[in-house]
Structure 1
Amino acid sequence: MKLLKTSFITVILLLVSTTSMFAQDKDTDAVKAVLKQYNNAIEKLDVNGTEKLFTSDSKIYESGGNEGSYAHYLEHHLAPEMKEFKSFTFSDYKVDATVSGEYAFSTETYNYTIIVANDSKVIKRKGISTSILKKTNGEWKIIMSHNSSRK
C-alpha cells in the first residue's frame, strides 16, 4: 500500500511539472511572437498598430536616452524616422526569453542594415535589446524596452 501511495504521488508530481513546463513553453513562444511582430513591423517600415504590443505606461530607452512611453517614442521618434528609410533589415537575429509568472525577460541580439531613402546611404550596425513583458488579460505586452547599437 505504501508503494502504491508513493507511486501515485510521483505520477501526480510528474503530471503537474510537465503541465507547468508546457504552459511556460507556450508563454515563452508567445513572448517571442510579440517581439517578432514588432521586428516585422520595423522591417516593413510600417509601425501602424504596434502600440498594441506595449502597455500604455511602457518605458523605452534607446542608446542611453530615455524616450518616454512607447506612444511618445512612436510619435516623436520612430514613425518620423521610418519615413526617412528606404529599407530596414535584421540579420543574425537571436532571442532568449525567460518567463517567471506574469513577467517575461528577453534579450535579442542582431545585426541590422538601414538604407536611407534620400541618398541610398547604407548604415550597418550590431544591436542588442532587452525587454520586460507582462501578461495582462491573457496577452503579453512590452512594459520596458532598451536597445543599443554599435558599428
Structure 2
Amino acid sequence: MHRIAVRVAALGVAILALVASPAQAQDAQEEAKIKKWLEGYVAALNAKDLKALGSFYDEQATIYEGGSIDNGWASYRDHHLGPELKEFQNLQFALVDVTPHVPEKGAKVAWVTATYTLKAKMKDRDIDSAGLETMVLVKDKDGSWKIRHSHTSSRRRPAPQAPTQAKP
C-alpha cells in the first residue's frame, strides 16, 4: 500500500511539473526580429510606399478592417489601402504596445498583438484614431515573415476637453 501511495505522489508531482512549465519556451530572439521587422512596416506605411508594403504581406492575406474584408494583398492594395493612402495627407501611423508571440523555436507561424494610432488629414477631415490590431504571420520559403491575416478595430479618440473656468 505504501508503494502505491509513493507512486501516486510521484506521478502527481510529474504531472504538476508538466502543467506548470511550458512545453517549449517562446522564441525571444525571433520575437525581437519581428519587432524590428514591424518598424520597417510602419516606415513603409508612413511613406505610403505600396511596393515596400507588398513585401510585408502574403499574397493570400485576409484583412479585416473597418467592417470589411479584403481577400488577398492585390485586392487590399488596389481597392482599400492604395486609395486610402493617396488621400491621406500628413500620415502619422504608429504601433505601440507591440507583443509578438512565437510559440517555439523554428515556428513557421506567429502572431502579434498591438495598439495603433493613426493621424492624418483626408480632404477636409482630420483623422485621429486609435485601435487594436492582431496580425497572424507566416514564414515564407526564404525565412521572412509575411502578414497572412490582419484584424483591426478602431475608435475615435475623445476630443480634448476645454479647460473649465474657475468660478470666483
The TM-score, its normalising length taken from structure 1, stands at 0.76
Q: 1:20-99 to 2 correspondence within 5 Å?
A: 24-91=27-94, 93-99=96-102
1:45–1:87 Cα contact (<8 Å) kept: no
What amino acid is the match of 1:139? S
Q: Is the 8 A contact 2:45 2:53 kept in 1?
A: no
Give unmatched runs, 5+ long, in structure 1: 1-19
Equivalent in the alignment of 1:122:
126
Looking at structure 2, the residues matched to 72 and 37 of structure 1 have their Cα atoms a distance apart, in angstroms, of: 22
Quickly say closer, same or farther: Cα 1:32–1:113, change in 2 above 3 A: same
Post-superposition CA distance 1:21-60 (Å, at most 9, x none): 6x92221122223322222122122222211111121111
Q: Structure 1 runs of 4+ off > 4 angstroms?
A: none
Deviation of 1:92 (Å) = 7.1
Instruction: Please identify which structure carries the higher helix content.
Output: 1
Q: Please give the secondary structure, in 1, of the residue aligned with 2:50.
A: coil
Compare the two structures and name the one with the higher strand fraction. Answer: 1
Aligned 8 A contact 1:41 1:47 in 2: yes
C-alpha separation in 2, matches of 1:60 and 1:90: 17
Q: Which residue of 1 aligns with 2:115?
A: 109
Q: Distance in 2 between matches of 1:56 and 1:107?
A: 21
- Show CA shifts across 1:39-91 (max 9, x none): 21221222222111111211111122111112210111111111111121135
Q: Which residue of 2 aligns with 1:144?
A: 149
Cα displacement string for residues 85-126 of structure 1 (whole angstroms, at most 9, x for unaligned residues) = 11211357220111022111111102221112x43x311111
Unpaired stretches in structure 2, ≥5 consecutive residues: 1-23, 157-168
User: Is contact 1:31-1:133 (8 Å) kept?
Assistant: no
Amino acid at match of 2:118: Y
Q: One-letter code of the match for 1:132?
A: V
Q: For the residues of structure 1 that align with 2:69 and 2:96, how far apart are their CA atoms?
A: 24
CA RMSD, 1 decimal = 2.0
Work out the CA distance in 1 between the residues paired with 2:95 and 2:69: 27
